[in-house]
Every structure is written in structure tokens, then in C-alpha cells.
């Protein structure tokens, strides 16, 4: 485990109660000694303040943390101001993303794609930030073709990204194939698989439909067969995701990025099995 980069993702709490819960979750997950925590934002950067507050609190607790930064709807001036604020808090990592277009959203702002954001961050701040970008082993749902998606990824790396975190997936072959294709293009940055615990069948199906992650048929049918038996869903899900993690690490993945859903137990259970 020591040679791998393990990280854990939170979303910013919307209420004071949510903030208290996240503090308790983070305290538990800190015991696992992840490399860093990352904190997401809402569509169109709607929770950028909550993201920053959460990151600052994590840093104050002596942990490393990376805010997600979306460029959708952002101007050069607004992104420049956010970067200056990040620097003032001594934040050294960013997860740079295009971000989802909010519903009914017309223009795309001054940045259309994540590679333009990465390029801008480098122009403005040099090597101050370690920049992580997104990767899509099962192809971005809005990509014209797998090849187009691969070239979009290449542009992000050439613009100055240091590493990538993938969308979650349950098919290890998709990840290994994607990494192999990037290596053929001469891309040698770490590509860390995103790991999503399986906790709730309907929620997982909804998420996966939205983001284009495939749930293998045998997994889907087995989950559906448990009905409302959440203990069986979680136990089976833990087995599936543990096997996935083991295969990824054995196959050369540089680490794992856990989508915690702001809960400590699922990530801890996976972690303990993978140690």
C-alpha cells in the first residue's frame, strides 16, 4: 500500500448538520492516512465557496486537500480570482475539470474544455499546483467517438496536467485498455482509478446512467435480485469492488481514488480488505 497513491473524495456539505457529519467522517478516514482528500463542487461551480471552506478546514487539520475547479461558466477573471484565493490558503493541488453544464445553461463561458483551464492555470501560476484531470476509461458520454475522447485526454495532459483520476467503472479491462492506449500516445502520467462503493442499487443505476459508467450485467442482475435487502447489496457490492481493486493494483494501477459519498464505513471496509 505504501507505494500507492490512495485518495478520498468528498462533496461539500450544504447544511451545518452536514458539515458536522463530514467532520466526523473525515476524522475516521484520516486514520487511513490517504495521500490527500479532494472536494467536489456543484454544477456550474455552484458550491465553490463550500468547496473552498471544506478544503481549508482539511488543510487546517494537517491533511492535504485538493479543491475541484470547474471552468464551465467561468471567465478568465473569475478563475484568476479563485486561483489567487487558493494560493492565499497555500492550496497546492487542484482537480481541474470542465464540469457539468447546469440544466438550461446557454453559453459555455470563456473556457470550453478542461485543457483550456489546465493551460490557463499553468500560465497564471506556473508549477504552484499539482493538477489532476478526469479520465474516462468507458468513454465520456458526450464524446463523439472513443478516439475523440482519447485525443481530448491527450490535450489535457499536454496542457500541463500531472495526473488523472478516472470516472468510476466496474470493468477492469476498460481501464487497462485505456491506459495502454494513452501509453501508445506517449502519455506517461499516473492514471488513478476512481472507485465507487456499491451501497444502493437504484442510486447506483441513476448515477451510472448519468455519467455513462457501465454496470456489468451479472452485477446488475444480482443487485436487482436482492430487492430491498440492503445488507446483502452492501456485502455483495463490497466483494465486487474489492476484487476490482485487487485486480487494478495487481495490474499496475498507481493507486485508487475512493468516492466516499461522505460516508466513512464503505471506504474503510474496502481499504481494510485491500491493505
Write out the catalytic residue numbers: 9
Task: Give the largest CA-CA distance in the chain.
Answer: 53
Q: DSSP of 24-47, one letter per residue? A: HHHHHHHTT--SEEEE---GGGTT
Residue 143 region by backbone torsions, left for phi larger than 0, else alpha for psi between -120 and 50, else beta:
beta
Helix axes 76-88, 48-60, angle to 10 degrees: 20
3-state class (DSSP) for residue 203: helix
State how far the alpha carbon of 212 is from the alpha carbons of 112, 177, 216, in Å.
21, 17, 12
Q: 260 near 267, Cβ under 8 Å?
A: yes
**Residue 152, H or E segment:** helix 146-158
Total count of residues recorded for the chain:
275
Between CA 60 and CA 150 the distance in angstroms is 38
Cell reading at 179: 491506459
Amino acid at each position: 500500500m505504501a507505494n500507492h497513491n490512495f485518495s478520498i473524495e468528498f462533496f461539500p456539505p450544504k447544511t451545518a448538520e452536514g458539515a458536522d457529519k463530514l467532520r466526523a467522517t473525515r476524522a475516521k478516514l484520516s486514520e487511513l492516512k490517504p495521500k490527500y482528500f479532494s472536494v467536489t463542487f456543484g454544477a456550474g461551480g455552484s458550491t465553490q465557496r463550500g468547496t473552498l471552506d471544506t478544503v481549508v478546514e482539511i488543510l487546517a487539520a494537517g491533511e492535504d486537500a485538493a479543491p475541484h475547479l470547474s471552468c464551465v461558466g467561468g471567465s478568465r477573471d473569475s478563475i484568476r480570482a479563485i486561483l489567487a484565493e487558493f494560493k492565499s490558503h497555500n492550496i497546492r493541488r487542484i482537480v481541474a475539470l470542465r464540469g457539468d453544464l447546469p440544466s438550461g445553461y446557454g453559453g459555455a463561458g470563456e473556457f470550453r474544455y478542461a485543457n483550456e483551464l489546465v493551460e490557463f492555470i499553468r500560465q497564471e501560476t506556473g508549477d504552484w499546483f499539482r493538477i489532476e484531470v478526469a479520465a474516462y476509461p468507458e468513454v465520456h458520454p458526450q464524446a463523439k467517438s472513443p478516439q475523440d475522447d482519447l485525443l481530448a485526454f491527450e490535450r489535457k495532459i499536454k496542457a500541463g496536467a500531472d495526473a488523472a483520476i478516472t470516472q468510476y467503472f466496474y470493468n477492469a479491462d476498460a481501464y487497462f485498455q485505456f491506459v495502454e492506449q494513452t501509453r501508445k500516445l506517449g502519455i506517461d502520467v499516473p492514471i488513478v482509478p476512481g472507485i465507487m462503493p456499491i451501497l444502493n442499487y437504484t442510486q447506483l443505476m441513476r448515477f451510472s446512467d448519468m455519467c455513462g459508467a457501465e454496470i456489468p450485467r451479472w452485477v446488475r442482475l444480482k443487485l436487482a435480485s436482492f430487492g430491498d435487502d440492503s445488507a446483502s447489496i452492501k456485502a455483495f457490492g463490497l466483494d465486487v469492488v474489492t476484487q476490482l481493486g485487487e485486480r487494478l493494483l495487481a495490474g499496475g494501477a498507481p493507486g485508487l481514488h475512493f468516492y466516499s459519498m461522505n460516508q466513512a464505513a464503505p471506504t474503510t471496509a474496502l481499504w481494510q480488505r485491500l491493505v
